[in-house]
A = this chain, B = another copy of it.
Amino acid sequence: MSIITLTTDFGLSDHYVGVMKGVILGLDPEARLVDLCHQVEPYDVLGAALTLAASYCWFPPQTVHLVVVDPGVGSARRAILAQAGSWWFVAPDNGVLELVYRRRPHRVWGLEPEKFALEPISNTFHGRDVFAPAAALIARGTPPEQLGDAIAEYARLPIPQPRESAPGCRLGAVLKVDRFGNLITNFQTADLPTAFLITVGDARIHTLRPSYSAGAPGEIFAIAGSSGFLEVSLNQDSAARALGVTAGAPVELVDTSRRE
């Protein structure tokens, strides 16, 4: 029994996700299908990369993670298969696997749709015609070589990283705002100095709280998020709304422990 997860920007109002599932079940009737997220912003490759990075390793080994966020559908961009750690990935070759590449030893194959895709291949719905069949075939144990050749060159994605803007001062950004209004930054929790000042929007934050519920009413605080990134949060309220901040906003982190 195999598991296939789906991450797309298709939303939930159209038939696109359902059709992909139908194609998968036609090829692999035993597949367990799990939606990771279909509300990725249209064409937001970085958003999909973050969702996938926060999720893939919580699934059992051999799970196939299928990602279709694909601004280049119908163009010359390839479809790829990757094996990283114990997991499989099927995706457009647009860098959406960047965070997986960085964290795991991996191998990549360039998919050759003429070997396995539904015919005729449309130019508008590769999720149905190319990606879903590839995921189903891998899930049921088809050797990767039957879907395409191993490749050494594939697209990478620049992930915004904090940069040093002055001694002891780094400038990062909000990567994402979650449903609760937590600001997920691109600082790693592990990088946080013992004493710090974080500035984002109008807030100046000195405090790291161990849990959301440890925040005082109205207090904006820093917290170690569940995916390894530093977050800026408000207990039972939306930090994003309180600060008027959205994804992409600058976040400054000053190491105040160095002042002594």
Contacts and interface: CB of A to CB of B under 8 A. Distances in A.
A154 interface: no
Nearest to A13: B39
Contacts of A155: none
Interface string A174-190: 00001110000000000
B5 A18 contact: yes
A224 B124 contact: yes
A54 B39 CA distance: 21
Given A10-B179, A18-B36, A51-B15, A211 B73 contact: yes
Query: A-side binding surface: helix, strand, loop or mixed?
Result: loop
A214 interface: yes
A35 B223 CA distance: 29
Interface in A25-54: 25-26, 29-30, 32-39, 42-43, 51, 54
Contacts of A38: 12
A236 B42 CA distance: 8
Interface in A170-223: 178-180, 210-214, 223
Contacts of A231: 124
Interface in A135-186: 178-180
A19 B54 contact: yes
A22 to B, nearest CB: 4
Taking the full assembly, how many copies of this chain does it contain? 3
A101 interface: no
Nearest to A129: B226
Contacts of A15: 36-37, 51, 54-55, 227
A124 B74 contact: no
Contact of A59 (B22, B33, B34): B22
Interface in A91-141: 122-125, 128
A81 interface: no
Nearest to A71: B236
A136 to B, nearest CB: 12
| Interface pairs A-B: 10 shortest CB-CB | A74-B211, A125-B226, A11-B179, A22-B59, A22-B58, A123-B211, A18-B36, A75-B213, A13-B39, A15-B54
Interface of A: 1, 3, 5, 9-19, 21-23, 25-26, 29-30, 32-39, 42-43, 51, 54-55, 58-60, 63, 71-75, 122-125, 128, 178-180, 210-214, 223-227, 231, 236
